Chains A and B, each alone.
Chain A
Amino acid sequence: MSESTLHAITGMIGEVLGDEMVDEPITMETSFADDLEIESIELVQLAELVEARWGEKVDFNAWIAGQSIDDVISLTVGDLVTFVDSCL
Chain B
Amino acid sequence: MAEITPHDVTLHVQTTGSGSPAVLFLHGLVMDNLSSWYFTAGTRVARDGATAVLMDLRGHGRSERPATGYGVEVLLADIVGVLDHLGHAQVVVAGNSFGGQLAAALAIAHPERVQGVVLVDAHLGAEGWGDAMASTLSLTGEARDTMIATHFQDWLGRHSTRKRTRLADTARALVEGTTLVADLQASPGLEDDAIAQWTMPVLALYGQDSDLRDEPDRLRRLVPHADVRVFEGATHSLMWERTAEVVDAIAGFVAGFRCEG
Contact = CB atoms under 8 A, between A and B. Distances in A.
Q: Do A and B come from one complex?
A: yes
A59 to B, nearest CB: 9
Interface stretch (B33-41, B123-131, B183-191): B33-41
Interface stretch (B71-79, B90-98, B153-161): B153-161
A65 B156 contact: no
Given A33-B160, A40-B36, A45 B62 contact: yes
Interface residues on A, range: 20 to 34
Interface stretch (B43-51, B105-113, B226-234): B43-51
Interface in B14-46: 14, 16-17, 33-36, 38-40, 43-44, 46
Interface residues of B, number: 30
Nearest to B46: A61
B13 to A, nearest CB: 11
- State the main secondary structure of chain A at its contact with B: helix
Given A33-B160, A61-B16, A40 B47 contact: no
A65 B37 CA distance: 11
Contact of A44 (B38, B44, B154, B157): B38
Given A40-B36, A41-B34, A65 B244 contact: no
B85 interface: no
A83 to B, nearest CB: 14
A38 B244 contact: no
A41 B44 contact: no
Nearest to B164: A37
Interface string B137-157: 000000000000000001111
Contacts of A37: 157, 160-163
Contacts of B243: 68-69
B156 A39 contact: yes
B159 to A, nearest CB: 9
A20 interface: yes
9 contacts: A37-B157, A38-B157, A40-B36, A40-B155, A43-B156, A61-B16, A61-B46, A62-B46, A65-B43
